[in-house]
Amino acid sequence: MSTARKILSNTIAQIIGKALVALLGLIVVKVSTQYLGRAGFGNYSFIYEFLAFFGIAADLGLFTIAVKEMSENEHQIEKIIGNILSLRTILVATTMIIAVITVFLIPKYQNTLIPVGVAIASITVFLTILNGTLTSVLQTKLKMEVSSFATVIGKIFSVSFMLYVIFFGFPNDKETGFYMLILAGVIGMTVNLLITHHYVKKIAPINYQFDISLWKSILKKSAPYGLALILNTIYFRIDSILIFNMRSEEELGIYSVAMKMLESFSILPLYFMNSVLPTLTKSINEGEGRHKKVISYAFDFLASISVPMVIGGTILAYPIIFIVSTPDFLSRISEGFYGSDIAFQILIFALFFQFLNVLFAFILIAIDKQSRLLYINLFGVIFNLASNFLIIPAYGFRGAAFTSVLSEMFIFIATFLVARSFLKFNISIKNLAKIIFSGSLMGFAIYYLQPLSYDFFQNWNVLILIPFGAAIYLGSLLATGTVSKEMLQLLKKK
C-alpha cells in the first residue's frame, strides 16, 4: 500500500470513528441541555473547561513528540512508550491533584456542584491521558482504526449510562443526576483504555520504564511544544472561564453548546496531521524535496474539509442548534436574546483558521523548530486575554467568540510565516480558489433550498440539506479538477 493511501486510510478510520463519536456527542448535548437547562449545562461545561488547563499541562506535547520519536526509531518503540507512559502518569496524577485542591479552595465555587464535579471528572482526564499515550503507538503504526473502535465503544457505554441516569435513574433528582452524568465519562474512558491496551500490547510490550536520560531528552524536545499547547489552551478556553466568572453560568451554557459542536470537528486536523507527521518527517530528512508535495496535498485536504464547514455552518446554524439542544438555547433577536446559533456562526470562522494552523505547527515540529510555537502562542494569549477582559463585560459570549476568531487568524498568519522561513514549500492558491468556489456553490444551493424545504420539514430540513450540499460540493471539486488525477493515482497505487 502506498504511503499516501496509508495516510488517507488512517485518517478516514479516525474521521469515521470521530463522526460516530460526534453523533453520540450530539445525543449527549441534546439530553443534557434538556435535563440540566442553561445554568446547569453551564456548570457541567465549566468543569471540563477548568480541567482542560491542568490536562494540557499533563500532556506537555508528549503525544506528538512520541509519534515523531517512534517514527524515527521504530526498533525502540517499547523503550520510548514505556518511558513516556511513566512521564505522563506522573504529570497527570500531579496536575489532577492540584486541580482538585485548587477548586475546593476557591470561595466562589464553594457550596456549588463544581468542586465535587471536578473531583469526579479528574479521573476521566487521568484515564484520557493514559489512553492517549498508548494510542501514540497505534498512530506511529498507522493503525488508528483500533483507536477509533475503542473510542466509539467507550462512548457508547458513556452515553448509555447518561440516558439511564436522565430517564430512569434520577429523572427528578437533578443534583445527584449531575454527578452521575460526570461519572459517565469515567465509565466510558475506562472501557476505552482497556480496549486500547489490549491491542497495543500486541504491537509492543507495555511496561513502565524509568530511563532518566531519555526523559531529559524527550522533555527537552516536548517542552517548547507543550508550553505552546498550554498557551493555545489558554487563549482558546479562557473565554469560557471568563464568561462564567464575569457574566453567568447561564451564558456559558449558551456559549458551550456551540463550543461542544465545534470541538467535535476541531480534532480532525490533529488526526490527519498525526497521520502525516511520520511521512512528513521522513520526507524532510531525505532532503529531496518530496516534502513539498506532502505539504501541498495536506493543505488542500485541510482546506477542502474546513471551507464547506464554515459556509454550511454559517447558513444552517439555527436548525443545527435546534436539533442538538432545546429552543431555550436559540436566538430570539426580537426580544434581544442571542442564543447558541449566533455563537456557532462566529466561532466556526475560528475553526477554519484552526484547521490550517495545525499544518504549519506540525511543519515546525517535523523540523525540530517547535520552540517557535511558544513565542507565537504567547503573543496570541496576550492579545486574547486583553481583548476578552475588555469585550466580555459589555458583549458577553459574542465578544468572546469574535476574539477567538481574531486570535486564530493571528496564529495562522504567524505560524505560516515562521514555517515558511525555515522550510521551502508551496501552497496552491489556484486549488484554494477552486475549493472556495465549490464551497460557495454549495452555499448558494442550500441557502435557497432552505426556505423551500422548511415548509415540509421545518428545522429538521438540515438533515436533508447537509448531504445535498455535500454532494454538490464533492461534484464541484471533481468537476473543477481540485482532486487531481495524480492524487487519485497516488491513493490507488499499491
Give the integer Cα–Cα distance in Å for 298 and 361.
13
* Radius of gyration, alpha carbons of the chain: 22
Q: What is the pLDDT of residues 216-246, one digit of tens each?
A: 877 777 777 677 777 777 777 788 888 988 8
Instruction: Let me know the angle formed at the C-alpha of 81 by 77 and 84, rounded to the nearest 5 degrees.
Output: 145
Question: Are 343 and 405 in contact, with CB atoms under 8 Å apart?
Answer: no
- Whether residue 77 contacts residue 115, with contact meaning beta carbons closer than 8 Å, is answered with no
pLDDT on residue 17 = 67
Whole-number pLDDT of residue 188? 94
Element of type H or E holding 289: none
Burial of residue 107 (CB within 10 Å: 0-12, 13-18, 19+) is exposed
pLDDT of residue 362: 86
Type of residue found at 217: S
pLDDT digits (tens, 9 = 90+) for 307-341: 999 999 999 999 888 888 888 888 888 888 888 89
Collect all residues with Cβ–Cβ distance below 8 Å to 309 and sequence separation of at least 6: 265, 348, 351, 352
Kindly give, in sequence order, each residue whose CB lies less than 8 Å from that of residue 8, ignoring residues fewer than 6 positions away: 491
Residue of higher predicted confidence among 69 and 122: 122
pLDDT of 492 above 50: no
DSSP state, 333?
G
CA–CA dist 52, 125 (Å, integer):
8
Does position 134 have pLDDT exceeding 50, yes or no?
Answer: yes
- How far, in Å, are 5, 119, 264, 302, 399 from residue 271 at the CA level? 15, 29, 12, 11, 30
| Axis-axis angle for helices 114-140, 268-286 (nearest 10) | 40
- Between 74 and 85, name the one with better pLDDT: 85
- 438 pLDDT more than 60: yes
- Write the CA distances from 200 to 141, 241, 392, integer angstroms: 10, 37, 45
> Using 50, 70 and 90 to split pLDDT, how confident is the model at 375?
confident
DSSP 13-71: HHHHHHHHHHHHHHHHHHHHHHHHHHHHHHHHHHHHHHHHHHHHHHHTTHHHHHHHHHH
Least confident of 278-282, 424-428, 489-493: 489-493
- Mean pLDDT score, 30-59: 85
Question: How many Å apart are CA 159 and CA 366, to the nearest integer?
Answer: 37
Residue with cell 473502535: 149
| pLDDT surpasses 70 at 58 | yes
Q: Please state the domain extents for the chain.
A: 3-427
pLDDT in tens, 68-84: 777 667 677 778 788 88
What is the C-alpha separation between 91 and 65, in angstroms, rounded? Answer: 16
169 DSSP assignment: I
Which residues fall within 8 angstroms of residue 460, CB to CB, at 6 or more apart?
A: 319, 323
- Least Cα distance to 423 among 274, 241, 291 occurs for 291
Question: Which of 4-18, 150-164, 263-277, 363-377 is the least confident region?
Answer: 4-18
> What integer best gives the mean pLDDT of the chain?
83
Of 406, 413, 421, the C-alpha closest to 364 is 421
Which ranges of 423-484 would DSSP assign to H, the alpha helix? Answer: 429-457, 462-479
To 10 degrees, what angle do helices 340-366 and 371-422 make? 70
Q: What's CA 46's distance to the chain center, in Å?
A: 17
19 or 485: whose pLDDT is higher?
19
CA dist 85 and 215 (Å) reads: 11
Out of 16-25, 146-155, 426-435, 437-446, the most confident range is 437-446
Q: Which of 185, 150, 154, 113 is nearest to 13 (CA)?
A: 150
| pLDDT for 140 | 67
Question: If phi over 0 gives left and psi between -120 and 50 gives alpha, with beta otherwise, what is residue 101?
Answer: alpha
Taking residues 412-433, what's their average pLDDT? 88
Confidence bin at 10 (pLDDT 50/70/90): low
The angle, 0 to 180 degrees and rounded to 10, between the axes of the packed helices 144-164 and 174-203 is 160
| 8 Å CB contact between 52 and 233 | yes
Helix (H, G, I), strand (E, B) or coil at 304: helix
Q: What is the mean pLDDT of residues 33-54?
A: 87
- Give the rounded distance of the alpha carbon of 319 from its chain centre: 23
pLDDT of residue 490: 47
pLDDT category of residue 295 using cuts at 50, 70 and 90: confident
CB 318 within 8 A of CB 331: yes
- Whether 71 and 277 have beta carbons less than 8 Å apart is answered as yes
Question: In this predicted model, what pLDDT tens digit does every residue of 439-487 receive, in sequence order?
Answer: 999 999 999 898 888 878 788 888 889 889 999 998 898 888 776 655 5
What was the pLDDT predicted at 204? 76
Task: Identify which has the larger pLDDT, 459 or 347.
Answer: 347
Q: Residues 252-274: pLDDT tens digits?
A: 888 988 888 787 777 778 777 77
Q: Is the pLDDT of residue 7 over 60?
A: no
What is the pLDDT, as a whole number, of residue 231? Answer: 75
Q: Residues 359-378: what's their mean pLDDT?
A: 82
- Higher pLDDT: 116 or 66? It is 116
Task: Calculate the alpha carbon distances from 55 to 86, 88, 93, 231, 427 in Å.
Answer: 16, 10, 10, 13, 34
pTM of the model: 0.75
pLDDT band at 491 (very low <50, low <70, confident <90, very high): very low
DSSP 353: H
